[in-house]
Structure 1
C-alpha cells in the first residue's frame, strides 16, 4: 500500500466512523476503498469489520448519556446481536457471497420504509393498542435484531439503518436513545465477528489499523453531530444514507 493509498484508507475510516455513529452504512465507504487499493473481497470485508470496532466503541461512548437507564434493554438485545453476529461471521466463511448480497437491497428498502412511516405507525399503534407497550420490544424485536446481527456479521453495510427501522417501530422511546442503542448493538455484532475472523480469516493489518485510527476520530465526530440533530433531520439523514446504500449495492 502506497502512502497516498494509506491516507485514503485512513480518511475512509474517519468517514465510516462518523456515518456509522449517526446512522450506519459506513462499510459502504471503507469497503470499496479497500477493494480499490487491491485487497481481495473477503480480506477487505474482514479487515474492515475489525477496523471499525474501535470506531463503534468511540461512537457508543459519545452517546453514553442517551444510554442511561437502558441496561436491561441492552442485555436482551445485545445477546441477540452477539448470537446473530457470530452466525453471520460463520456464514461468511462457508457460503458464497452472491446469494446473501442479493437480498440486501430489499432489506434496506424495507428498513427505509419503516423509518419514514415510523411516526405515523407509532401513532396508529398507540391509538389501536389494547395492551401497554413493552419497553423491550417483545419477541419480534429480538428476532429482528438477531437477523440483523446475522447480516451484520456477514457484510455489515447499513445494519444501522435496519436496526433504527426495527427499533423505531417496535420501541416506545425517542430516536436519539434508540440511536444510542443501535451503536451498542452494532459494536456487539462487529466485535464478535472480528474476534471470530482473528482465528478464521486472513486480515490485512495495515488496512485494519488505518481504518481503526480513522474510525475512532469519526466516532467522536459522529456522536457530536448526531446528538444535536432533531428527530426529523436525523430521520431524513437515515433515509438519504439508506438510498445511497441501496444504489451502491445494486450497481
Structure 2
C-alpha cells in the first residue's frame, strides 16, 4: 500500500494538512474559500441553465470532462479544508483514522487535482478555443476563465503551498483508467443524447485515425503533466525543507502540544521524510 501513497501510519507529519509558509488555520480557510468559489460557479451555472434552457445544459454538463474535474476540485478543496481546520483546532485530522482504502482514495483524488486541471486547460486553449469565441460575452468570458484557467490556478496552489509529498508513480495507471472511463462516457453520450462532447472525438468529422491520435496524445500529455508536477513537488520539498529548513507550520495542539515544528514529534518525523 505504501507504493500507492498509503503508508503505515498514514501521513505521520500531516503533510496534507500543513504548509511550509501558512499556519494550518490559514491553509484551511484558503482551501475553504476556493471550495466556496468553485461550488458558487457550479451552482450559478445550474441556476442559470434552469432559467434559460429548462436545465438542459445542466443535464448535459455531466458528460464533459471539464465539468467532472471541476466537481472533483470542489469536493477535494471542501474535504481538504475540513481536515485541515480539524487538525488546526484539534491537533488531529479525521483522515488519520480513515480506513486504508479511503486514505488511498484521498491520495488519488489529490493526484487528480494536481494533474487533470492542467490537461483540461491545455486541451481547451490549444484545441477547442480557436474554434470558439471564449470571450464573446461577459458570461462566456467568466465561465471560460473560471473553468479553463482558474482550475489550473487552484491546482498550482495545491502543488506549491501544502507540504504534500510527490504523487506515487503507481497512480499513473489509475489516471489512465479514469481517462479511459471518461472516453466510454463520451461515446455513451453520443449514443444516448446524439452529440459528441468534444469535436476531436468525432470520427465522422476528424477521421478515426485522427481521433486515435488525439486519444494517444492525451495519454502522453497526462503522463508528461504527471512527470512535471512530480519534479516541481520534489524541487519544492528540496528547497523548502533541505535548503531553507522550512519544516512546516504545525498545529499547537498536535501530538500533545509538541507540533509547533521546533523540537516536537512533527519536527523529528519531518526530518526523516526529506527528499
The structure with the largest helix share of the pair is: 1
**Bigger RCO of structures 1 and 2 (CA < 8 A, at least 6 apart):** 1
Structure possessing the higher radius of gyration over alpha carbons: 2
User: TM-score, with normalisation over the residues of structure 2?
Assistant: 0.28
